Amino acid sequence: MTSDNGQTRRSVLGALAALGVGSTAFQRAVAQQAAIRGAIDAEMIEQAEWVAGVTLPEGDRAGVAAAVARVLRKREQLYEVEIGYDELPSLRFDPEAADPDAARRASQCPAHLESCKPKPAAPKADDGWSWLTIRQLGLALRTGAVTSVGLTAYFLNRLKELNVVLKCVVTLTEDLAYRQAERADKELAAGKDRGPLHGIPWGAKDLIAVTGYPTTWGAPQFKDQTLEETATVAQKMEAAGAVLIAKLSLGALAMGDRWFGGQTRNPWNPRQGSSGSSAGSASAVSAGALPVALGSETLGSIVSPSKRCGVTGLRPTFGRVSRAGCMSLSWSMDKIGPIARSVDDCGIVFDVLNGRDPADPTTVDRWFEWPMKADLKGLQVGRVENVRKTPEEERLLGILEECGANIVPVRLPDEFSEWALTVMLDAEAAAVFHPLVAENNLDGINSWSQIFQKMHYFTAVDYLHAARVRSRLMKLMHGVFDTVDVYVGSGDLGITNLTGHPTVVQPVLKSEGEYSQPQCATLSSRLYDEATLLAMASIVEDKVQPGQWRPTIEMPKPAVEESSAIDDDN
């Protein structure tokens, strides 16, 4: 079959699917006939009926053929219009649709929270720069113990050294980093203080665009891509005085931890991948190679690598943080959030990132303040009863109960499989990356190649039906929060990413054995209630003290040292 015939077959399948005409077998039979003949007529429809084992009324065949031909012409006209990867559809997911009180509720501080002073920042005498919090590093900067240029040089060198093993860096932004660090030192010396992030190094997942540097999306097809824009989140970090020192790895097109430079590794067990897709962000932070990094999540890409690498991650409510200038995978599910080694660090960064951005029409302004203190006696904490508990979750529940929280049973929606709804993600991703399918340019993108191809046979009717089922799921989750403020329990990764609810993941236990490492649990809350999540997680962190847990990374001998796969800008 020629490539032209193949394209015709795909076009006819899409047209029939869009019309909702016949079964899948019938649609494929029609498509095969059209590919052979190069046209659609009543006879071809009749032959397709025989192949598929269906029968249309004789008078309908000519009408179906004509209708398919009209849809094909419209489809061809649409695909003649050039659409960039960053173009949004004229549809918008609204997590508030099933929770009409969300905006009012999120306009002010909840009664169970109150403002508090930051925790003392003084580090222990034996702490190196790698393991200090943002506030501790900030104190060192403001007392003259170190300069931002000095911190930048330190973390750049640490990234270069550890990347040999971890493969967590795509590009070092060294020139930009030193410019930003020098400016931070001058401003701090002159008394201009931009806040806790001023002079602090950070890393960006390499789907966040930065002018003058490659934004590769982890895929060989975009390895040399340079976007002439800087993402809103990167602009906000720069405005807060933070110093960008690296673009960090992600699995190809935000899937897993394998990218064109290899597999990113877990610092606690380098034989193991760091999980994904915010693979480099979690790995670098866990290894003490960065104080904080930004990741993104569509279906687990902050929560999963944070758990694997034993760090703290915040996946915000959908619409809380702008995605302008970031790679689109699913317009209705993508979210940007911080990954750090402490709850307070996540709160500091989220305080900078959240808010309305005209460049991303899904974003909203909602109340947030940090740091905050939570009165657990006024909170109902759900213990999920219809999903098996892990030891980490039992530990988290136990700490919250000891601190005064009221633990009550709760069930997550289970009347249908939420994972069936992830076809919406696949369909949106296939639409974003349609050019790769059209050009048959699908090598090196993990399982996306098969997903993109198969989703071209998923109909518009099917997508919209899934969207209606998703609305049902959102209403069911709204019902969950009629009885609890937050809940502890795994098994909600698909649900909360589809409904837009926020989650914080944090280490609460340390495993034993050859590769002893932190074990994490999650808290999830109502829409826009990140302040409660972080305040509660901070209480747990004070009890557990995970900041004392640090991986020992065995470096290879020089004779067998591997390429670091860093594209340095010097």
Q: Residues 6 or more apart from 248 whose CB is under 8 A from it? A: 168, 169, 170, 203, 204, 205, 206, 278, 279, 280, 281, 283, 284, 293
φ and ψ of 68, to 5 deg = -60, -40
What integer best gives the mean pLDDT of the chain?
Answer: 90
- Per-residue pLDDT, 6: 54
Q: Which helix (H) or strand (E) holds 35?
A: helix 24-37
Residue 3: is its pLDDT beyond 80? no
Percentage, residues of the chain above pLDDT 70:
88
Q: How would residue 143 be classed by pLDDT, with cut points 50, 70 and 90?
A: very high
pLDDT tens track for 462-501: 899 999 999 999 999 999 999 999 999 889 999 999 999 9
- How far apart CA 286 and CA 308 sit, in angstroms, is 10
Task: Check residue 559 and give its pLDDT.
Answer: 45
pTM score, two decimals? Answer: 0.89
Judge contact between 274 and 256, C-beta under 8 A.
no
Q: What is the pLDDT of residue 25?
A: 57
Active-site hit among 11, 249, 275, 277: 277
Task: Tell which wins on pLDDT, 568 or 88.
Answer: 88
Cβ atoms 531, 368 nearer than 8 A? yes
pLDDT number for residue 65: 76
* Predicted local distance difference test score (pLDDT) of residue 2: 40
pLDDT value of residue 49: 66
Give the Cα separation of 340 and 290 in Å (integer): 9
Phi and psi dihedrals of 106, rounded to 5? -90, 15
Question: Quick check: 210 and 202 in contact, CB under 8 A?
Answer: no
Take residue 489 and report the two structure tokens written for it. 């329990």
**Band of the pLDDT at 568, cuts 50, 70, 90?**
very low
For residue 499, which of 522, 521, 480, 483 has the smallest C-alpha distance? Answer: 480
Looking at residue 10, its pLDDT comes to 58
pLDDT of residue 8: 57
Q: What is the pLDDT of residue 72?
A: 66
Active site residue 301: yes
Which fold is adopted by the domain 95-112+131-418+461-548?
Amidase signature (AS) enzymes (3.90.1300)
**Residue 407's pLDDT is what?**
98
What confidence score (pLDDT) does residue 1 get?
Answer: 36
Min mean pLDDT across 2-16, 344-358, 425-439, 469-483 is at 2-16
Across residues 189-209, what is the average pLDDT? 98
* Exposure b/e, 264-288, CB count within 10 A at least 16 = b: bbbbbbbebbbbbbbbbbbbbbbbb
Q: Are 367 and 106 in contact (CB under 8 A)?
A: yes
Q: Which of 51-55, 86-90, 116-120, 156-160 has the highest mean pLDDT?
A: 156-160
Give the per-residue pLDDT at 44. Answer: 73
Q: Determine whether 205 is an active site residue.
A: yes
pLDDT, tens digit, 9 for 90 and up, residues 39-96? 677 777 777 666 556 577 777 778 777 776 776 677 678 778 888 998 888 889 999 9
3-state SS, 131-158, equals HCCHHHHHHHHHCCCCCHHHHHHHHHHH
Please report, for residues 84, 97, 361, the alpha-carbon distance to residue 358 in angstroms, rounded to integers and kept in the order given. 19, 21, 6
Query: What is the distance between the alpha carbons of residues 286 and 279, in angstroms, rounded to a whole number?
Result: 11
- Per-residue pLDDT band for 290 (boundaries 50, 70, 90) equals very high
Residue-wise pLDDT for 124-133, tens only, equals: 766 789 999 9
Q: Which of 274, 301, 449, 524 is catalytic?
A: 301
**CB hemisphere CA count around 415 (13 angstroms):** 8
Examine the pLDDT at 564 and tell me if it is beyond 50. no
Whether residue 90 is preceded by a cis peptide bond, meaning omega within 30 degrees of 0, is no
Task: Tell me the CA end-to-end span of the chain in Å, nearest whole number.
Answer: 49
Active-site hit among 205, 236, 335, 389: 205
What is the percent of the chain where pLDDT is above 90? 75
Q: What pLDDT score was predicted for residue 560? A: 37
For residue 499, what pLDDT is reported? 98
- Domain ranges in the chain are 1-81, 95-112+131-418+461-548
